[in-house]
C-alpha cells in the first residue's frame, strides 16, 4: 500500500467526527481563537482544544500566535472542497434512497388499494 493511501485514511479518520467537521466549517471563514470557536460550535473550550490538537496533528489546521491569543485556521482551504464533494455524494445518495422509499410506498399503497377494492 502506498504512503498517500495511508495518509488519506488517517485524515479521513480524523474527519470522521461530526464536531470536527462543524469546527472546520467555522474555520473556513477565517482564523479564529479557541474561545470564539468554542462559542461558535457550542462546546467547551477544553473540548475544542482537544479536537484542534487532533486536527493539527493531522495537518488539517495550523496555529498562529497573535499576542496572547492563538488563532487557528485551515492549513489548506481545499480540505473544504473535499468535504463539499463528500457532502454532495451523500446528498445524492439520500435523494436516491428517498426516491426509492417513495416509489416503494406508492407501490405498496397501490397494491393495498387494489386488494381493498376486491
Q: Is 23 helix (H, G, I), strand (E, B) or coil?
A: helix
CB 48 within 8 A of CB 63: no
Taking the C-alpha atoms of residue 24 and residue 31, their distance in angstroms, rounded to an integer, is 11
Q: Which residues of the chain have pLDDT under 70?
A: 105-118
CA distances from 89 to 22, 40, 71, 86 (A): 18, 27, 32, 5
Domain range summary for the chain, segments of one domain joined by +: 3-76
**Burial level of 52, CB count in 10 A (0-12/13-18/19+)?**
buried
What is the predicted pLDDT for the residue at 87? 94
What is the predicted pLDDT for the residue at 107? 64
What is the predicted pLDDT for the residue at 48? 98
CB 33 within 8 A of CB 52: no
Taking the C-alpha atoms of residue 17 and residue 41, their distance in angstroms, rounded to an integer, is 13
What is the predicted pLDDT for the residue at 103? 85
- The pTM of the full predicted model, rounded to 2 decimals, is 0.79
| Interior angle at CA 62, CA 41 and CA 14, nearest 5 | 65
How is domain 3-76 classified at the CATH fold level? Arc Repressor Mutant, subunit A (1.10.10)
Amino acid at each position: 500500500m502506498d504512503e498517500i493511501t495511508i495518509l488519506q485514511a488517517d485524515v479521513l479518520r480524523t474527519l470522521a467526527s461530526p464536531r470536527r467537521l462543524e469546527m472546520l466549517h467555522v474555520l473556513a471563514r477565517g482564523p479564529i481563537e479557541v474561545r470564539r470557536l468554542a462559542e461558535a460550535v457550542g462546546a467547551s473550550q477544553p473540548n475544542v482544544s482537544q479536537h484542534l490538537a487532533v486536527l493539527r496533528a493531522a495537518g488539517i489546521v495550523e496555529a498562529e500566535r497573535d499576542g496572547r491569543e492563538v488563532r487557528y485556521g485551515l492549513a489548506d482551504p481545499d480540505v473544504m472542497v473535499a468535504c463539499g464533494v463528500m457532502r454532495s455524494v451523500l446528498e445524492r445518495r439520500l435523494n436516491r434512497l428517498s426516491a426509492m422509499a417513495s416509489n416503494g410506498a406508492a407501490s405498496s399503497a397501490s397494491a393495498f388499494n387494489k386488494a381493498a377494492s376486491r
